[in-house]
């Protein structure tokens, strides 16, 4: 389902950050989701609310043998089949590489609104 937003609403969305400390669903109401990872956690992200919506997810802190995965309703390319994409490695603090994922909502020809990853650093895609 696509939600029509005016440019002011989209600008307000871009400034919103949620605090993520436990497993569960990431907010579609917030642009930025910094993950505070402790132990083993799993996150999900539902389909985008509008075409062009962006979502920035990154590892903010990681303690207690951190392992984090993220399952996203997405597709492989703009015309590829819709699937659930899994991203891992957010909790790997041993490497000095930043852990970041940027997603953008697109309108898939047959599947409706889905995410495609625009950029990722330090996370693995499967």
How many whole angstroms separate alpha carbon 79 and alpha carbon 44?
23
Kindly report the pTM of this predicted structure.
Answer: 0.79
pLDDT at site 68: 84
Exposure of 16 in the CB half-sphere (CA atoms within 13 A) = 15
CB 48 within 8 A of CB 30: no
How many whole angstroms separate alpha carbon 44 and alpha carbon 33?
12
How many whole angstroms separate alpha carbon 115 and alpha carbon 38?
26
pLDDT, averaged per 10 consecutive residues of the chain (126 residues), comes to 47 67 88 86 90 88 80 66 75 65 87 85 78
CB 96 within 8 A of CB 118: no
**Torsion region of 46: left, alpha or beta (phi above 0 gives left; psi -120 to 50 gives alpha):** beta
pLDDT at site 1: 40
pLDDT at site 9: 53
The helix or strand, by DSSP H or E, that contains position 12, with its residue range, turns out to be: helix 7-14
Task: Give the single-character DSSP code of 27.
Answer: P
Instruction: Specify the 3-state DSSP secondary structure of 92.
Output: coil
pLDDT at site 76: 59
How many whole angstroms separate alpha carbon 113 and alpha carbon 87?
19
pLDDT at site 5: 47
């Amino acid at each position: 389902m696509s939600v029509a937003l005016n440019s002011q609403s989209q600008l307000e969305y871009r400034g919103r950050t949620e605090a993520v400390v436990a497993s569960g669903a990431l907010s579609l109401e917030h642009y930025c989701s910094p993950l505070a990872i402790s132990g083993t956690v799993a996150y999900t992200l539902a389909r985008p609310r509008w075409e062009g919506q962006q979502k920035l997810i990154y590892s903010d802190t990681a303690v207690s043998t951190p392992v984090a995965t993220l399952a996203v309703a997405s597709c492989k390319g703009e015309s590829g089949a819709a699937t659930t994409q899994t991203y891992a490695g957010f909790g790997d603090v041993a490497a000095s590489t930043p852990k970041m994922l940027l997603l953008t909502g697109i309108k898939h020809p047959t599947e409706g609104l889905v995410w495609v990853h625009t950029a990722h650093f330090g996370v693995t895609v499967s």
